[in-house]
């Protein structure tokens, strides 16, 4: 029963291409939204549950993508092995970074993660011999899953949705595990959590690494799906967008983050029509949601609905 | 070799002066409201772009610069009134995202008004380089340095000598106590935002003849200013000035001696090191952490 929402979501994802066959919007935008969901759900573990902000999450997304891109194109590695290597490398870097960076709080943590993201982006642009520089790397071979080569929009929709559901399932279970409860305790009050015997340093390190792994995983898929990577896909703007997704949907709610990711993806598609107004609307929306619904759209609206329902019931009983 | 180093130093101090002004603005707002304003760089961009637009419209430079500073101050006040004040008491993460949103919004406004093109101001007094002990100095660099020194001295005098400045300082120490002795904290908050926006705008106008300005120009400047504030110890105005100069020189030396492409990476690596090993800043006082 705990995962009822998950099964509903999975059924919906599977039904969409049946209900709208050969629909570019559903298949292509859906796949893009799916990748965003993986990223947002991962970042939400860190931001929403553990209460640690990261303004450099695009760096981990990029590391996964570049690991897959470089290992498959320059060294001819099979794609699954490259994906695994990307996960290991990103996880190791996140683990090394976690202790010193997560000792910082609030604005300091924001600045440190932001600086880390910028450093990684500069390396992507400058280390031309490896990364192809600002022009990026093209000709990434298709993802090969034990002999099945993923090609075409519909196949990619399937693969990304499966990956997204896996990520959602993992996140939902993680949050309700002992480690997840420890994390929420850290969010409430790190000091109190320590007093209750939670190794807060360890809890924060773990969630930072897990969150980075989610991003690297999405990055590898992204690299193969696009067959091309360039630094522009992993800059500060993308990091800010990922944070926007998490807070838009609602922090500390896995489905909230997922909804935020889907909403922002759709919004960006919709705003393309407005061209020059896109940035203006994006900024205004971010401010408005944070001022009026600081728990996010999904959480804020569902709480509002619950309150309305309570009022309605009260009047009926009377 | 020595001449080259001197040249890097001059370039570094010029850029560092701007970081210092932006960092000073950060420190002012942080002191008054505990908010790190991620839209600070957009004040710099607005100052430069408005001044350029007014100059193009036929205004003399001094008038255009003054009007641009005033308009940016208005933008700062509006930001305080419509984005910061309604979110009073929100968490750190929430205020960070609000100011990021404000930054994106202001960039969006600039994009609508001036498009994606690069613009620049003519130098205040010609562009014949001055030879100074083997280094070439642009006259504009001297303007940047001179006005920065003047502004920093004015801000110092404001805090040390005037009642208004002392009232603002009192708010940063303890807002409740300041309120209790009859200081209007809300007015002080607006004063901090206005002052900070004005400093940013002036920084933008000063640098506009040296670097090109566009709707996106504020992002990096804002982040470097924030870095300056952190290096100096967040909330320490004069520390931010020193931090800005240090960051500028370091960046210029890094660009000259190591690689210009890695300039930003070097700057942020330094900030990370400061955060890891001395998070209270190089020139900061020890902060007592509140649980």
How much is the pLDDT for B108?
93
Tell me the pLDDT band of B290, cut-offs 50, 70 and 90. very low
Taking one residue from A and the other from B, the number of pairs with CB-CB distance under 8 angstroms is 130
pLDDT tens, A140-185?
888 888 878 888 888 888 899 999 999 999 998 888 888 788 878 8
Q: What is chain A's mean pLDDT, rounded? A: 86
Ordered DSSP codes for B36-101: --TTHHHHHHHHHHHHHHHHHTT--HHHHHHHHHHHHHHHHHHHIIIIIGGGTT--HHHHHHHHHH
A118 in contact with B, Cβ within 8 Å = yes
Contact A116 B272 (CB under 8 A): yes
A142 close to A224: Cβ distance less than 8 angstroms: yes
CA distance B272 to A270: 38
Domain span at residue B140 reads 14-226
Nearest neighbour of B264 by CB, restricted to A103, A122, A294: A122
Ordered DSSP codes for A133-189: GGG-EE-PPPPEETTEE--SHHHHHHHHHHHHHHHHHHHHHHHTSHHHHHHHHHHH-
pLDDT tens, B225-272?
999 999 988 878 889 999 999 999 999 999 888 888 888 999 999 999
Residues from chain B contacting residue A299 (CB–CB below 8 Å)? none
Mean pLDDT of B115-138: 83
Rounded alpha-carbon distances, angstroms, from residue B285 to B87, B162, B234, B238: 29, 24, 10, 12
A136 in contact with B, Cβ within 8 Å = no
The region of weakest confidence among A118-132, B207-221, B277-291 is B277-291
Domains of chain A plus CATH, in order, are 4-279 (1.10.3470)
- As for how many domains chain B has, the answer is 1
How much is the pLDDT for A143?
85
Q: Is B282 within the bounds of a domain?
A: no
Query: Which pair of tokens denotes residue A186?
Result: 């850290």
Nearest CA in chain B to A125: B261
Query: Which pair of tokens denotes residue B260?
Result: 């210009």
Tell me the pLDDT band of B44, cut-offs 50, 70 and 90. very high
How much is the pLDDT for A198?
79
Q: Could you tell me how many residues make up chain B? A: 291
A152 in contact with B, Cβ within 8 Å = no
pLDDT tens, A298-316?
777 777 777 777 777 766 5
How much is the pLDDT for A275?
75
The region of weakest confidence among A189-193, A253-257, A295-299 is A295-299
Q: Is B51 within the bounds of a domain?
A: yes
Query: Which pair of tokens denotes residue A89?
Result: 């490398």
State the nearest Cα–Cα gap between A70 and chain B, in angstroms. Answer: 21
Residues from chain B contacting residue A57 (CB–CB below 8 Å)? none
Mean pLDDT of A202-207: 88
Mean pLDDT of A3-9: 82
Q: Is B220 within the bounds of a domain?
A: yes
Q: Is B50 within the bounds of a domain?
A: yes
Contact B111 A279 (CB under 8 A): yes
Q: Is B286 exposed, middle or buried (0-12, 13-18, 19+ CB in 10 A)?
A: exposed
pLDDT tens, A210-230?
999 999 999 999 999 998 999
B74 close to B136: Cβ distance less than 8 angstroms: no
Contact B36 A284 (CB under 8 A): no
Rounded alpha-carbon distances, angstroms, from residue A67 to A159, A222, B98: 19, 12, 34
Q: Is B167 within the bounds of a domain?
A: yes
Q: Could you tell me how many residues make up chain A? A: 318
Query: Which pair of tokens denotes residue A116?
Result: 């880390």
Nearest CA in chain A to B111: A276
A149 in contact with B, Cβ within 8 Å = no
Nearest neighbour of B94 by CB, restricted to A103, A104, A290: A290
Nearest neighbour of B234 by CB, restricted to A103, A107, A251: A107
Say what percent of chain B tops pLDDT 70: 97
CA distance B220 to B217: 7
CA distance A72 to A83: 9
């Amino acid at each position: 029963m705990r995962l009822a929402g998950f099964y509903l979501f999975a059924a919906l994802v599977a039904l969409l291409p049946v209900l709208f066959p050969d629909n570019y919007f559903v298949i292509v935008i859906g796949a893009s939204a799916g990748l965003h969901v993986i990223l947002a759900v991962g970042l939400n573990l860190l931001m929403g549950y553990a209460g640690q902000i990261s303004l450099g999450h695009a760096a981990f997304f990029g590391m996964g993508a570049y690991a897959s891109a470089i290992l498959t194109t320059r060294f001819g590695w099979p794609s699954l092995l490259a994906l695994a290597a990307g996960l290991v490398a990103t996880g190791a870097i996140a683990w090394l970074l976690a202790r010193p960076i997560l000792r910082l709080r609030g604005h300091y943590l924001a600045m440190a993660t932001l600086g880390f993201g910028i450093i990684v982006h500069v390396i992507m642009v400058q280390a031309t011999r490896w990364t192809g520089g600002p022009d990026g790397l093209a000709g990434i071979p298709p993802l090969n899953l034990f002999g099945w080569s993923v090609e075409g929009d519909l196949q990619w929709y399937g693969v990304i949705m499966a990956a997204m559901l896996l990520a959602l399932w993992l996140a939902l279970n993680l949050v309700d595990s002992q480690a997840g409860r420890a994390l929420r305790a850290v969010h409430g009050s790190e000091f109190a959590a320590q007093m209750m015997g939670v190794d807060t340093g360890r809890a924060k390190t773990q969630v930072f690494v897990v969150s980075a792994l989610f991003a690297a995983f999405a990055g590898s898929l992204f690299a193969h799906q696009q067959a091309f990577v360039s630094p522009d896909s992993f800059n500060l703007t993308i990091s800010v967008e990922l944070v926007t997704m998490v807070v838009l949907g609602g922090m500390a709610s896995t489905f909230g983050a997922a909804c935020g990711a889907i909403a922002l993806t759709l919004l960006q598609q919709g705003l393309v029509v407005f061209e020059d107004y896109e940035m203006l609307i994006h900024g205004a929306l971010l401010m408005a949601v944070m001022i009026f619904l600081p728990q996010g759209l999904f959480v804020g609206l569902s709480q509002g609905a619950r309150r309305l329902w309570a009022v309605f019931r009260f009047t009926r009983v009377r | 070799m020595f001449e080259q180093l001197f040249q890097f130093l001059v370039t570094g101090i010029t850029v560092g002066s701007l970081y210092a002004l932006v960092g000073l603005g950060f420190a002012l707002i942080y002191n008054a409201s505990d908010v790190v304003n991620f839209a600070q760089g957009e004040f710099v961009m607005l100052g430069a772009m408005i001044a350029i637009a007014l100059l193009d419209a036929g205004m003399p430079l001094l008038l255009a610069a003054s009007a641009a500073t005033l308009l940016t101050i208005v933008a700062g006040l509006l930001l305080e009134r419509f984005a910061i004040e309604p979110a009073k008491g929100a968490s750190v993460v929430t205020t960070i995202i609000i100011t990021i949103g404000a930054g994106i919004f202001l960039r969006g406004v600039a994009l609508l008004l001036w498009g994606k093109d690069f613009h620049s101001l003519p130098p205040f007094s010609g562009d014949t380089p001055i030879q100074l002990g083997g280094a070439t100095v642009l006259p504009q660099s001297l303007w940047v340095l001179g006005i920065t020194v003047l502004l920093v001295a004015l801000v110092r005098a404001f805090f040390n000598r005037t009642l208004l400045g002392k009232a603002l300082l009192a708010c940063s120490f303890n807002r409740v106590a300041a309120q209790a002795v009859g200081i209007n904290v809300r007015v002080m908050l607006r004063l901090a935002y206005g002052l900070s926006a004005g400093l940013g705008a002036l920084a933008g106008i000063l640098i506009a003849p040296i670097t090109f300005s566009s709707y996106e120009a504020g992002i990096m400047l804002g982040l470097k200013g924030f870095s300056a504030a952190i290096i100096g110890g967040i909330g320490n105005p004069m520390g931010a000035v020193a931090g800005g100069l240090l960051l500028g020189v370091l960046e210029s030396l890094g660009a000259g001696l190591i690689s210009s492409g890695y300039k930003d990476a070097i700057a942020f690596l330094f900030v990370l090191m400061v955060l890891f090993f001395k998070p209270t800043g190089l020139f900061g006082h020890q902060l007592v952490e509140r649980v």
